[in-house]
Amino acid sequence: MVAFSKIAAATTFAALASAQTYQRLGACPDLGCVFPPDQADFLAGQYFDIRVEVHAPVNGSEANGGIPDKRFSLAIQKAGGSSQPVSKFFDITEPAIEEWKFKWYEDYFAEDAKTPSLVNVAAKAYRRVALYEPGEYTATLSYYNGSKTVANWVVRDLAEEKKAKNVILFIGDGMTTSMITAARLIGHKSVNGKYLTKMAMDKFPILGHQMTHSIDSYITDSANSASALYSGHKSTVNAMGVYSDSSPDAFDDPKVETIVEILTRVWGSAIGIVSTAFLADATPIALTGHTRTRGHYGPLIDQMLNGVTNYTWTPFSGPDVLFGAGAENFHAKGGSYQDKDYVEEFRKKDYKVALDNTTLSTLNSKNKALGLFSTSSLPVWLDRNVYTENIINSTNHPSLDGKPANDLPGLKDMVLKAVDILHERGGDRGFFMMAEAASIDKQMHVLDYDRALGDLLELDDTVAATIARLTELGILNNTLVLVTADHGHGFDVYGSADTKYMASIDDDDVRGKRAAIGTYQNSGQSQYQVVDAAISYNTGVNFPVNWEPRYCLAQGTVAFPDRRENYEVHHEPRLPATKGADKSYYVNPADGIGGLVVNGTLGTEEAQGVHSLTDVPVYAMGPCQEKFQGTYNNIDIFFEMANCLGLARHDNKTGDKGDLLPGNNGTVHTGAASGMEMLNGGGITAVLGVMVAAFVGAAVNRSFLMGCKDPGEVATELLIRIVLAISINLNILRKLRLRFCLEIVLAISIKLEAFEEAATEEIVPAISIVLKVCREATTEAYKPTRLPVAHLSSIGAGSWEIIDAVVATVAVDRLLSPSLSLTTASWILSGWIIGDVRPHPPRPSSRRLTPAPPAKMRSACALASALVLLLLPVASAVENVTCYGFDGSAWANNFVCEGSSACCGVDGICMPNKLCNSKKDGTGELIRGPCALKSYDVEECAEICLYDEINRYFPRVTKCKDSGKYCCNNDKKCCEEGRGVLLNAAGKVIKSKETTSDTESKKTTVTRDPSALPSDSTTPGTTATPPTIPTPAVPVAPNPATPSPPNVPTGASGGLATGAKIGLGVGIPVGVLALAGLAAFLWFRRKKNRVYSGSNGGYSPPPQTHEMAADDGPQEMQGYAKGQSNVPIELYAKEQTHAPVELPAEEGGNGVQTPRPLSNPS
């Protein structure tokens, strides 16, 4: 929406009609300019600058006298609010007016005539402001007595809570779907049109597409497309992290905050940047760079290390990992900024430096790392692995000594090392990594298609290896992995070329050579996977076994210079065109020998191919993955990553020191009450109540039955028991398979010999055995029925201390992990009150267990623990957060089904197939209920209707009458059209031969974005799942269902926190129990003094000292959905002095502006 005076409108429209190729200023169609311009989107709390300009053309079609209006004004208005001057709206000081002039050519005619248009400018800049409240805004620039330029802005309403701990963004520079198709064709074998293997990208559960237009052109370059991906703001060609203005200084344009700057400011996360390009190239440097001219390599390296220093901006002191090439930009003799040695500058900031692959592999994961492995860009995969003579003859060593860089890492080597470092350094704060396969684009530019496809296959191999590494580290389900491109090339394959036949045709017979191209049925099959005994590259699977078959791909792009094409692989890097005497480009006479000459489709001044309009693919896996399906703008990738990372901030107190963090303590919100939250919110009362009741009861028991006389012995024993309980508790609770582990611990504690005095030396080995069993339980699906008798019989005589500590610990664990089955309580009662199964002393030939006769309860500790366990169902009714929906949200009023982790509402019953019936008599609806695991696990929970709960209702399931198949009720014709699935007795989908792959995963864990809603259409999926990439089994897209299960969602809004409610609900009754135990102690003490006042001897516990071995139990908490530590994280921040850095001035956008020194406002 733009309003002009009639004169301004006439001149502007005349300019628009003639200025398609050249523009006075991108995103400024009239004489008043507002940056950010119309249609800009913002993340709440994202810093940005505002620049306004008023143009006064001196000559040309827009000439208005050449005197700019200096009385212009800018006002901001939020929808529904009042308009305010910009300085008042943001509560900042009004800046001074700046003036300059620039020149530009209106069209080719003006350029040919060498008659540029001169423009005088008056401008202002408002630095580092932010919009915190979501909604629509208008920025109105008033000038020239009534002319107005209106920019409509939107602040997106996004979340502050993290849904993903980490994000990895793979960028195949210039990669398109057709390139992926070609790479698959040469890298994977097919038989009768069906591939035997797939690419890693093919296995991702989500595929979308992004549009790549820039702000002033529908054909983008890597700089501003990267800026859109990293900041959510489109820019102009060659610009990054800024909106291009007309000022002479390329480093004073209005900036926008990038994702790594926001992420370090808000969460303090680790940052990794990996590229096969030179590190000052557009895609890697745009993460931290702010300039409209991407060619300022030296100053951009300085920004990478020190952040923006010429204006007050978000402090940034370098990424944690920086791997790539371009060593010349770091050395004075290669043209570094201010002739500094930037390798040494990085070392001063505690970076460890690697110049070769050997050193890279030895880097310590605790340290920040800089890897510079060659000058320029890294040699491509094909030269590093097949045509290695090209490496031997190079002069690209990063030391700039003119020698070859022989010890080179590949993309996979750099990425895997980066993941290790970022995982270590990021810790609970997580990490963000961008990894670029740069030479897909660079080789497409020079029409070297084979080298481009080789690097694409290397990218795919890296993706597969990264997923495997994330799985190994236990963080795959906490990590959003994206694979996309920044733009595309117009590349495709249209048949095959018989290279032998083409070479046999005389070079003068150009039309005859074209007969060597086979199309349709004459294309044949790919020969790149046909084994030739004389050829062996040793490059592993999923790469061509023969790069030089007779029948090669007939491939090419739509935009190219004059060239000769023979379709064969080039043994040396390709140069398709060379400059002639007239300085235009012609066919390179040394290229494509024996091929056919093809006239170019570009201007004769172009030496290589260019980018194209095509949309590019986006593959997504992990938290928030469903947000990336469909077709959308490239800026949406930034906003969805920011939403998944919880980067939005809706409070104007947010600053560089990170004052505003979730809960003001940096704790990552998981949507459910955690053990630590329970302790903080009132659960500490419950835990202390358990311990007081248990240990005081145990002391009463000991004093009453054994005649303990010395109160000091009681105090000592209490201390020992508390230490043992806490030690076991801290070690046992930290592994993923908590449920199995605790079941085993309970079984052991029940069956220990408890009726004989224990020797001190038995404590350590007994606890070691308990912890050993738990470790085993965490490494495999250890069921209670597999309880090893050898462990029990090797314990020997029981120990009161061990028994009481373990049982009391289990009671506490039951508090902190209510998902244990309720039969746990009956185990304790039956094992301790009704009777006991105890191991007999060892016999020479064998050990066996025999039932012991019933015995009365002798451990008040165990009795107190059992009573607490029985109280828990009552306390849990307050807010029993034990189960989680498919979208990860917490649900109360559920119970865990026996033998699985499936949950059902308290008013329903569990079915053997892990579904729920809404009524206890079995006459209700079938429901796919929640799961006891935060990250939904189809091995442990229902394997049907795997989609997010709609309107907080669980999916209803219908059993088809005729076929016995099960259908989700959002698909009304599922039964009628036979789309249902069969479930076996264990609730597993019975997979047909057509839907089951040989590589199906044994364990599938599905992570979903809680806020994501699937489409309204039915989307059948596959149940075949590769081992390393989790994919939902039998996904069905839902429509809102009718209903109302008894489940009540828990939330974080209003009132006490979930943990506080649980803590109070349990703590109050347990506290009463503790007081009762204390009263009982005093009463029994008095009674003992009367009854046993002359007794002989009595029990005297031996002195005990015990130090838990460091490796007696698991030491690391798994992250996020599988047992994340919820200890509050205190994020640090420090003041940074923004010392001025004198950056070199550069010519303006059209090469005819006057440079000026870099300004340095505060």
pLDDT in tens, 430-459: 999 999 999 999 999 999 999 999 999 999
More confident residue, 983 or 204: 204
Crossing angle, helix 411-426 and helix 449-473, to 10 degrees? 30
pLDDT in tens, 451-486: 999 999 999 999 999 999 999 999 999 999 999 999
Residue 91 pLDDT greater than 50, yes or no: yes
At residue 849 the predicted structure's pLDDT band, cuts being 50, 70 and 90, is very low
Q: What is the per-residue burial (b if ≥16 Cβ within 10 Å, else e) of 712-730? A: ebbeebbebbebbbebbbe
pLDDT in tens, 704-739: 334 443 445 444 444 444 444 444 444 333 333 344
The two structure tokens encoding residue 276: 């096969």
* Least confident segment among 86-100, 579-593, 917-931, 1018-1032: 1018-1032
Closest CA to 515 of 498, 527, 490, 530: 498
Residue 767 pLDDT greater than 90, yes or no: no
Res 901: pLDDT:
85
pTM of the model: 0.61
At residue 882 the predicted structure's pLDDT band, cuts being 50, 70 and 90, is low
Q: Show contacts of 822-830: CB within 8 Å, 24+ apart.
A: 822/873, 822/895, 823/898, 824/742, 824/743, 824/746, 824/869, 825/866, 825/869, 825/870, 825/872, 827/746, 827/747, 827/750, 828/746, 828/750, 828/862, 828/865, 828/866, 828/869, 829/866, 829/870
pLDDT in tens, 172-220: 999 999 999 999 999 999 999 999 999 999 999 999 999 999 998 999 9
Average pLDDT, the chain: 73
Res 285: pLDDT:
97
Res 1118: pLDDT:
26
Number of residues that this document lists for the chain: 1162
Query: What is the radius of gyration, based on Cα positions, of the chain?
Result: 35
pLDDT in tens, 655-683: 333 333 333 333 333 333 333 333 333 34
At residue 255 the predicted structure's pLDDT band, cuts being 50, 70 and 90, is very high
Crossing angle, helix 738-751 and helix 800-816, to 10 degrees? 150
Residue 655 CB-density burial (10 A; 0-12 exposed, 13-18 middle, 19+ buried): middle
More confident residue, 1061 or 93: 93
Quote the percentage of the chain above a pLDDT of 90: 51
Crossing angle, helix 635-645 and helix 222-231, to 10 degrees? 30
Query: What are the backbone angles phi and psi of residue 169, rounded to the nearest 5°?
Result: -110, 105
